[in-house]
Amino acid sequence: MQLFVGLGNPEPKYAKNRHNIGFMAIDALAAAYNFVPFREKYHGLLAEGQIGQEKVLLLKPQTFMNKSGISVSEAVNFFKLDGSQIVVFYDELDLPPGKLRMRRGGGFAGHNGLKSINAHMGADFRRARLGIGHPGEKSKVNNHVLGDFAKADADWLAEFLTALCEHAPLLAKGEDAPFQTRVVEAMHSETEEQEDENGI
């Protein structure tokens, strides 16, 4: 069994924030693989289903970002999962928009969701770092993260979520490196096609 966690804030006003791309990824997976409807569980919204040949739980903590660890640790403890069975999807400032990097463990780069999970269960879990880009100045970070994706982001965001879903069976099997490679290749291919269409 795998537990895929998306980090975000629960109220509708935050739904389109860059900070909520983790929720967006989980919702996209639930739709792509016909998961049962989400239900309230473990201070979050939980859905059960299958990706490829693997049973997967999808979790969206409803505790607000800085208390995500409450929800995640409850689910992890109930199902008795170890770090190899947990993937956390979250927004990454230090990656360009639409870039994916997988890693296990490591620091938190100021991300309050990761800090909370670490406080409740340690840092040994798999991470899907979803690039949202950096605004360029530290003073603009808060507004960037808590701001909605712009209309100009719509195309790459849709392509990114589609690529994550298409290659999710690799992630469900624990094959993080091949998953990352396939998603990166898919995004690179989309960029080349757009450049061709635009005559660049």
Which domains are assigned to the chain? 2-197 (3.40.50.1470)
Mean pLDDT of the region 126-139? 94
Q: Which of 19, 43, 144, 167 is catalytic?
A: 19
Segment 23-29 long-range contacts (CB within 8 Å, at least 24 positions apart): 23/60, 24/157, 24/161, 25/89, 25/128, 25/130, 25/161, 25/164, 26/58, 26/59, 26/60, 26/89, 27/60, 28/161, 28/162, 28/164, 28/165, 29/4, 29/56, 29/58, 29/164, 29/165, 29/168
Q: What strands, in cross-sheet order, belong to the sheet with 2-6? A: 39-41, 44-51, 54-61, 2-6, 86-92, 126-131, 100-104
**Rg, C-alpha atoms of the chain:** 16
The predicted structure's pLDDT at residue 118:
93
173 pLDDT band, cuts 50/70/90, is very high
CB contact at 8 A, 104 and 83: yes
* pTM, full prediction: 0.92
SS (H, E, C) 102-152: EEECCCCCCCHHHHHHHHHHCCCCEEEEEECCCCCCHHHHHHHHCCECCHH
Cα 31 off chain centre by: 15
Q: What are phi and psi of 152, to 5 degrees?
A: -65, -15
Angstrom distance (rounded) from CA 53 to CA 10: 30
pLDDT in tens, 6-58: 999 999 999 999 999 999 999 999 999 999 999 999 999 999 999 999 999 99
Query: Is residue 120 flagged as an active site residue?
Result: no
CB contact at 8 A, 65 and 112: yes
188 pLDDT band, cuts 50/70/90, is confident
